A = this chain, B = another copy of it.
Amino acid sequence: MSEQFSIDYLKKILQEKDYKMTGQRKEILQIFLDQPSQHHLSAEDVHLILRNKKSEIGLATVYRSLELLASLGILLKIDFGDGCSRYELNTTDPDSHCHHHLICLKCRKVIEFDEDKLDELEHTIAERSGFKIINHEVKFFGYCKECRESMDN
């Protein structure tokens, strides 16, 4: 639901768990709200964006806030194998399919792909192993269209 993508939603969730709504947390979430998708920001990225906005927030606070937002389910923490954790808005909700990431082995570009299709597999897993699945992370490694074309030459 769109309720999930607002500062008010953050406030509500924080209050429910007795966390405080601080200016820092608000500003950090706002960055993700401003960049609807496509961006997978690292703590360093967020820190830099804040700096450009003249908002000096300590790097340690950025790390702590991202971790908190992820634990609240507002952000998703993902690892693309580039040496740091990256975060994106968690757009997963019961009605929508979540997306996968295609990672180009040549140019390291990350492409989003909207199609889930893992329901059947999840069902098989739950049945056979008794594992209760909360979330999943699917990454495909390969070569993007552009790199494949440049490799043909």
**Residue positions of A touching B, CB distance < 8 A:** 77, 79, 81, 100, 102, 104-105, 111, 113, 115, 117-118, 120-122, 124-125, 128-145, 148
Contacts and interface: CB of A to CB of B under 8 A. Distances in A.
A22 B77 CA distance: 39
Copies of this protein in the complex: 2
A148 B133 contact: no
Contact of A133 (B79, B122, B131, B141): B141
A133 B139 CA distance: 10
Closest 5 CB pairs of A and B: A130-B145, A133-B142, A134-B142, A132-B143, A137-B139
A108 B59 CA distance: 27
B141 A137 contact: yes
A104 B131 CA distance: 8
Contacts of A141: 133-137
B115 A121 contact: yes
A34 B100 CA distance: 34
A144 B130 contact: yes
Nearest to A81: B79
Given A105-B134, A115-B124, A135-B141, 6 more contacts: A117-B121, A133-B141, A135-B140, A135-B142, A136-B139, A136-B140
5 contacts: A113-B125, A130-B144, A130-B145, A131-B145, A137-B139
